[in-house]
A and B are shown apart, each in its own frame.
Chain A
Amino acid sequence: RKEVEQDPGPFNVPEGATVAFNCTYSNSASQSFFWYRQDCRKEPKLLMSVYSSGNEDGRFTAQLNRASQYISLLIRDSKLSDSATYLCVVGLMDSSYKLIFGSGTRLLVRP
């Protein structure tokens, strides 16, 4: 079983749509949670951290369910510029602290 699992997509949505991505993680000792965004042939960039109480940043809402080991990202009012791959990332302490990346979910927003 993969440590961090995501639906690879692509999710193809019209501008203005609301889209949700889900992610599950296998290690219950995971301590921190993030969504990164990676544009085509570019490096990953932090989109937002995910907190237990859920958090919102503009059109983006992230939620965490520790009991189900599940993380979500909701994007409202999608823009063309939201087209990218969204990486679910989990941080945990092993021999040292490390980030475990999912393979990503690809989003295409069409005009």
Chain B
Amino acid sequence: ETGVTQTPRHLVMGMTNKKSLKCEQHLGHNAMYWYKQSAKKPLELMFVYSLEERVENNSVPSRFSPECPNSSHLFLHLHTLQPEDSALYLCASSQDVGGSTDTQYFGPGTRLTVL
């Protein structure tokens, strides 16, 4: 419905695992974003990509590693996560970065649980 898909929808991993979250947008947008939403906290911007270049890295721990191979795909590679990293990870896209009227369209999110 939204044109932004995310896989997997749910993920349970141990602290020593390595996993990747995938996001794909079918809207022809140039900008993609990763957000983290923890319980009872506002969405936190993690990374911003514009035309496959990272333009924002919001003081995110290095155990989160983004990758943007092209303007339609965005990955978030996870390794040695902590239980406090359990959250809903949302991907979004917009036509461009910096447009004050740009609407961000969100994917359904990946609900991550770190044991």
Contacts and interface: CB of A to CB of B under 8 A. Distances in A.
Identify the interface centre among A2, A8, A45: most chain B CB within 10 Å of its CB: A45
Interface size class of A (residues with CB under 8 A): 20 to 34
B100 A44 contact: no
B40 A103 contact: yes
A42 B56 CA distance: 25
A49 interface: yes
A45 B43 contact: no
Main secondary structure of the interface of B (DSSP, over half): loop
A26 to B, nearest CB: 13
29 contacts: A2-B42, A31-B100, A32-B100, A32-B101, A42-B108, A43-B2, A43-B107, A43-B108, A43-B109, A44-B90, A44-B106, A46-B103, A46-B104, A46-B105, A87-B42, A96-B48, A96-B50, A96-B55, A96-B97, A96-B98, A97-B99, A97-B100, A98-B45, A98-B48, A98-B56, A99-B45, A100-B45, A101-B43, A103-B41
Interface of B: 2, 40-43, 45, 48, 50, 55-56, 90, 97-109
